[in-house]
Amino acid sequence: MANKSSLFQKSLLQSAIKQSVVKLNPKLMFRNPVMFTVEIGTAIMLGVCIWILSGNTTQGSFMYNFIVFLVLLATLLFANFAEAIAEARGKAQADSLRKTREETPAKKVAEVGKIYSHQVDIIPSSQLKKGDLFFCEAGDIIPSDGEIIEGLATIDESAITGESAPVIREAGGDKSSVTGGTKVLSDAITVRVTTEQGESFLDKMIALVEGASRQKTPNEIALTILLAGFTLVFIIVTITLKPFADYANTPITIAAFIALFVCLIPTTIGGLLSAIGIAGMDRALRANVITKSGRAVETAGDIDVLLLDKTGTITIGNRKATHFYPANSIDEKHFIRCVALSSISDDTPEGKSIIELAGLQPQQLSIINPRFIKFTAETRCSGVDFENIRIRKGASDAIKNLCEQAGNKFPEETAAHVHTISANGGTPLVVAENEKIIGVIELQDIIKPGIHERFERLRKMGIKTVMVTGDNPLTAKFIAEKAGVDDFIAEAKPEDKMNYIKKEQAEGRLVAMMGDGTNDAPALAQADVGVAMNSGTQAAKEAGNTVDLDNDPTKLIEVVEIGKQLLMTRGTLTTFSIANDVAKYFAIIPALFIVGIPSLQGLNIMQLHSPESAILSAVIFNAIIIPLLIPLALKGVAYKPIGASALLRRNLLIYGLGGVLVPFVGIKLIDLFVALFI
């Protein structure tokens, strides 16, 4: 996905040029009030040219008026081209994604009563419905989005993410989600379809990059209204010049009036506004980030606080059991058997690693009429009941409370092991039999490489990072310090994340949340920017407004930079566009009145050749500046984490002062050329 293709490929140019003409349709132009008024002006100039050909002699020469008409038409085409090339880049990506979404045979699993067999029916992927099961093995293309309910597999996601390294997806836990269009490389999985036809992840990506589902953001709408206001003001200004001209006994041609109007309204930003928004979404996609709206990208540019789930986000997520510590009076073999029994129904990587470390055969774990207790965020423990035995494993405080309520003490040696494991960054799981502590399991988590440096960059951007974990405070503190986050929330329940987000939002801060599990879904929905990992559960991806295809916990850096780029690009080009008007004012106003009011010669600081050349030079510059700025609109203004004030000073100097000086130079050079023919 993340390709580094050039901005202007031949195939894209051909499509964009064609669309530039198609977009001249007034029904389409009406959506952009600035350029729509330019189109009206262009139509009037065409009428003036026809009027001159019919014999009128009051509006100057036909050639002069026709050139003004052509330049105005070019202005429209250049503005349309900016939007069209941005759309074409998106459509090129969409075509690539469509190849991935080609009709795929699906091995639908037949339902027999309440038991699903692996006898499959081969059907087209388009016939799969939400809730259906399908089977995939090595070499198969996954036909639809879904959740793995059985098995594990190595999957090639390069068609979606652009990354060639295969990933492991398995039933249970937070890495059970698979995406349609990806390929199974090894093993086999049974998957439950989680989306209806036409609503898959790939379908949404195609709609986004094509611009079909792109809606103007609140900021874009606000700027459009502002530009429309500017345009209205300059319509009034231009109209009121007519009585002044009559009073000064200075006839002004229609071409001059229209040229003045077109040059004074913010045509530069008006022509580039849509392209900036489309390109922002495009840059997000090229960074392997799918956003459900442009608003999410813009909001990311103003984020104050970032919440990150620890497991799978900051850490690799597949914690492994590394050691068993039985209590002093407990036989080690008995403890290991109890540990293994409590993990029989635990499909998570942690549970599987406990069975693996125990090294017991299935026949050694056979029990009569077991009742398995599933882990929940509320109880923070799991286990099994059989005969008169109750085995529980879970967070130390949860098991401690369970035992103390039954009147049993928490052994000192177990407390010491819990403290040591936590202090070393591990996760202790305390095990109890019939509400008596029998020992501790040590789980070790691995922090993702390079994470500390990434958080430091976020800090320079002014973003506070907060790690959220269900671990005890000691473990959380160790991981937080090692990872380099600013703060942490330990022993967190799902509602704790929600409450923290609401508290920060109530204090006027914008909050981003990153997560991958179903338990993260409420917080992802509440956050201003909810970034879900592509490897995470379907619930998490549906709750967030952004999906990270790379499963990178610090991908928010890219999302923030793209958001800031989008806001900065729109702001700086607006500044540049308005600053341009200053120079054009000094070019056209003296040209209009210099004959009737010679004293205005002092305003002709560029010493332009003649009134006709001055007007023509201004409109030509006004036209050609749009295509010259298209690369900047598509790439975005460069962002560096140097602070808002420093960025503002830099951009005002470059685009504010530059916006004033560049037209003076450009119009003068064009005038020197135009003077050769007038």
Q: Which residues are catalytic?
A: 309
Which residue in 646, 645, 607, 592 sits closest to 249, CA to CA?
A: 592
Q: Quote the tokens at residue 323.
A: 């050691």
- The pair phi, psi for residue 482, each rounded to 5°, is -70, -40
Q: Do 471 and 445 meet the contact criterion of CB atoms below 8 Å apart?
A: no
- The pair phi, psi for residue 319, each rounded to 5°, is -65, 145
Q: Quote the tokens at residue 57.
A: 């002699």
Which residue in 612, 601, 596, 605 sits closest to 664, CA to CA?
A: 605
- DSSP characters over 337-386: HHHHHHTTT--SHHHHHHHHHHT--GGGG--SS-EEE---TTT-EEEEEE
Give the separation between CA 73 and CA 352, rounded to whole angstroms. Answer: 69
Give the separation between CA 264 and CA 244, rounded to whole angstroms. Answer: 18
SS (H, E, C) 305-344: EEEEEHHHHHECCCCEEEEEEECCCCCHHHHHHHHHHHCC
CA 117 to chain CA centroid, nearest Å = 40
Q: Provide long-range contacts, Cβ within 8 A and 24+ apart, for 367-371.
A: 367/341, 370/344
Give the separation between CA 72 and CA 260, rounded to whole angstroms. Answer: 12
Q: Quote the tokens at residue 379.
A: 């109880």
Alpha helices per DSSP H over 492-610: 494-506, 521-526, 538-543, 556-593
Q: Provide long-range contacts, Cβ within 8 A and 24+ apart, for 219-227.
A: 219/298, 219/567, 219/570, 220/273, 220/277, 220/294, 220/570, 223/269, 223/273, 223/570, 223/574, 224/32, 224/33, 224/273, 227/33, 227/34, 227/265, 227/266, 227/269, 227/270, 227/273
Which residue in 672, 524, 521 sits closest to 609, CA to CA?
A: 672
- DSSP characters over 272-318: HHHHHHHHHHHHHHHTTEEES-HHHHHHHTT--EEEEEIIIIIB-S-
Q: Quote the tokens at residue 380.
A: 């923070």
Q: Are strands 133-137 and 115-124 parallel, antiparallel or unpaired?
A: unpaired
User: Using DSSP, how many helices (H) and how many strands (E) does the chain show?
Assistant: 23, 20
Q: How many CB atoms lie within 10 A of CB 340?
A: 20
552 three-class SS = coil
Identity at 448, one-letter amino acid code: K
Give the separation between CA 36 and CA 563, rounded to whole angstroms. Answer: 28
Q: Provide long-range contacts, Cβ within 8 A and 24+ apart, for 506-511.
A: 509/304, 509/305, 510/299, 510/302, 510/303, 510/304, 510/305, 511/303, 511/304, 511/305, 511/306, 511/307
Identity at 67, one-letter amino acid code: I
Using the 8-state DSSP alphabet, how is residue 31 labeled? Answer: T
Rg value, the chain, Cα: 33
Which residue in 658, 595, 588, 644 sits closest to 264, CA to CA?
A: 588
Give the separation between CA 340 and CA 357, rounded to whole angstroms. Answer: 9
